[in-house]
């Protein structure tokens, strides 16, 4: 029978048991005088006898509590000793193993510049340094360091055979210039693990682009594209110089599922376009959903078009990914962003994304995204695969109540 013991838990339990014993000792000492020395209620023999009886019971309890306290202290000492013995055994066993691992890793680093087992180091904040790669056999990639003001974030480190790719670092914000782009998420292991999340863009100025999600392994899900604009919103005056929100990052390639595209960044208060959503990641199975484009500061700004929705990811086996929704335009003379095109799929194309809403005055809604294309299956059309539906056009909101833009076209079908 296998027994697993965590020495730190044993030592912690010994401390709790000792604290419980100390509490009981304090309680027994507090009531000892009041219970063992009970005065008779009167001078008659009955009162004296009753007082003596209760005092005798109290004295017996105190004697028993002394014995229980002695056993409690021995039990606590045994627990503490067991915890120390387990810890010493682990230390004794870990020493040779650590030495052996250090020798093996040293050889691996000398030959490949990468250890066999171990996690990669993370980049320092504000440095924009890339995260270190995890060990070839086992290890997570280190996270990329965030960028200095206006500078790009570092890339996440790649994972080993078993591990998780490091997250890309966030782009650095800027008080006047452009925000830095987010770093690329680290690639995952060969057999298992999730791709790293791309870093967000900078905070001020023109929004930085979101980082690309990490590519995945045989079984895992591709990393999610970095959110452009959540850390990449345009500054209040950025639109006057043609700058706006940052584009969302592309979703990572995935075997089980491609990563979702990142959301586009919001534009500035007075003008500038919202960032486009990132495309969904290519996938062996279901494609990733395209990111939603940003509007303008949540509450729409005065001018500027909404960003386009990201395209859905392509799939070679099942369904294509859905296109992202277009962002809303500004309040005046602003067009809503177009919906993203649905991804190509073997059995069914992904639906196109809905177009964004236009502004309040003299503004067109965005065109709905086209549905993704698809193939008939090998049964000669017995189970035909349908193209995805195009997204609905955004609402046109002028004073004269003109109609919104057209719906996206339906995806085409192909035969083998």
**pTM for the structure as a whole:** 0.58
Select, from the ranges 131-135, 157-161, 345-349, the one with the highest average predicted confidence (pLDDT): 131-135
Instruction: Supply the pLDDT for residue 243.
Output: 58
Which of 295, 223, 235, 229 has the alpha carbon at shortest distance from 261?
223
Which of 275, 355, 370, 276 has the alpha carbon at shortest distance from 320?
370
On whether residue 328 sits in a domain, the answer given is: yes
Select, from the ranges 361-365, 392-396, 409-413, the one with the highest average predicted confidence (pLDDT): 361-365
On whether residue 104 sits in a domain, the answer given is: no
On whether residue 91 sits in a domain, the answer given is: yes
Last residue of a domain, one of 48, 66, 99: 99
Mean pLDDT calculated for residue range 156-166: 82
> Rg (Cα) of the chain, in Å, rounded?
34
Instruction: Supply the pLDDT for residue 143.
Output: 86
On the question of pLDDT at 385 being above 50, the answer is no
Confidence class for position 394, pLDDT limits 50, 70, 90: low
Average pLDDT, the chain: 72
CA distance 210 to 413: 33
On whether residue 176 sits in a domain, the answer given is: no
Domain count, the chain: 2
On whether residue 358 sits in a domain, the answer given is: yes
Residue 232 near residue 265 (C-beta atoms within 8 A) = yes
On the question of pLDDT at 399 being above 60, the answer is no
- Six token digits for residue 124: 């320092």
The single-letter DSSP state of residue 413 is: E
On whether residue 345 sits in a domain, the answer given is: yes
Last residue of a domain, one of 99, 125, 140: 99
Last residue of a domain, one of 33, 65, 99: 99
- Six token digits for residue 178: 């452009």
Share of residues in the chain with pLDDT > 70 (%): 65
Mean pLDDT calculated for residue range 54-82: 88
On whether residue 218 sits in a domain, the answer given is: no
Domain of residue 39: give its range: 7-99
CA distance 278 to 291: 5
Q: Report pLDDT digits (tens) over 8-67.
A: 888 888 888 888 888 888 888 888 888 888 888 887 888 888 888 888 888 888 888 889
On whether residue 34 sits in a domain, the answer given is: yes
Q: Report pLDDT digits (tens) over 337-372.
A: 888 888 888 777 888 888 888 777 777 788 888 888
Which of 292, 293, 218 has the alpha carbon at shortest distance from 257?
218
The CATH number given to whatever domain includes residue 18 is 1.10.287.850
């Amino acid at each position: 029978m296998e027994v697993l013991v965590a020495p730190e838990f044993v030592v912690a339990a010994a401390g709790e048991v000792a604290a419980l014993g100390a509490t009981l000792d304090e309680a027994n000492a507090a009531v000892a005088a009041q219970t063992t020395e009970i005065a008779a209620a009167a001078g008659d023999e009955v009162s004296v006898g009753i007082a003596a009886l209760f005092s005798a019971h109290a004295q017996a309890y105190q004697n028993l509590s002394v014995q229980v306290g002695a056993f409690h202290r021995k039990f606590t000492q045994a627990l503490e000793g067991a915890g120390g013995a387990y810890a010493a055994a682990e230390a004794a066993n870990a020493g040779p193993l650590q030495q052996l691992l250090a020798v093996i890793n040293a050889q691996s680093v000398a030959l490949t510049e990468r250890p066999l087992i171990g996690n990669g180091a993370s980049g320092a904040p504000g440095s924009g340094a890339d995260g270190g790669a995890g060990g070839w056999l086992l290890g997570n990639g280190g996270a990329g360091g965030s960028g200095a003001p206006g500078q790009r974030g570092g890339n996440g480190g790649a994972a080993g055979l078993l591990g998780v790719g490091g997250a890309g670092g966030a782009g650095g914000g800027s008080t006047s210039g452009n925000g830095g782009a987010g770093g690329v998420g680290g690639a995952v292991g060969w057999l298992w693990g999730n791709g790293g999340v791309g870093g967000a863009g900078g905070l001020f100025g023109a929004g930085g682009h979101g980082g690309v999600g990490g590519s995945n392994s045989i079984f895992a899900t591709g990393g999610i594209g970095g959110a452009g604009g959540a850390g990449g919103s345009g500054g209040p005056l950025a639109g006057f110089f043609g700058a706006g929100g940052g584009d969302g990052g592309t979703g990572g390639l995935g075997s089980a599922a491609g990563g979702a595209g990142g959301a586009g960044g919001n534009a500035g208060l007075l003008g500038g376009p919202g960032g486009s959503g990132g495309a969904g990641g290519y996938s062996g199975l279901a494609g990733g959903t395209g990111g939603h484009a940003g509007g303008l500061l949540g509450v729409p700004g005065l001018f500027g078009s909404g960003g386009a929705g990201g395209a859905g990811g392509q799939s070679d086996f099942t369904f294509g990914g859905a296109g992202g929704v277009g962002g809303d335009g500004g309040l005046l003379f602003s067009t809503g962003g177009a919906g993203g095109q649905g991804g190509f799929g073997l059995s069914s194309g992904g639906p196109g994304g809905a177009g964004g809403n236009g502004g309040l005055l003299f503004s067109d809604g965005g065109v709905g995204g086209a549905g993704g294309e698809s193939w008939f299956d090998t049964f000669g059309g017995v189970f035909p695969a349908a193209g995805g539906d195009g997204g609905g056009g955004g609402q046109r909101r002028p004073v004269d109540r003109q109609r919104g833009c057209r719906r996206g076209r339906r995806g085409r079908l192909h035969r083998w």
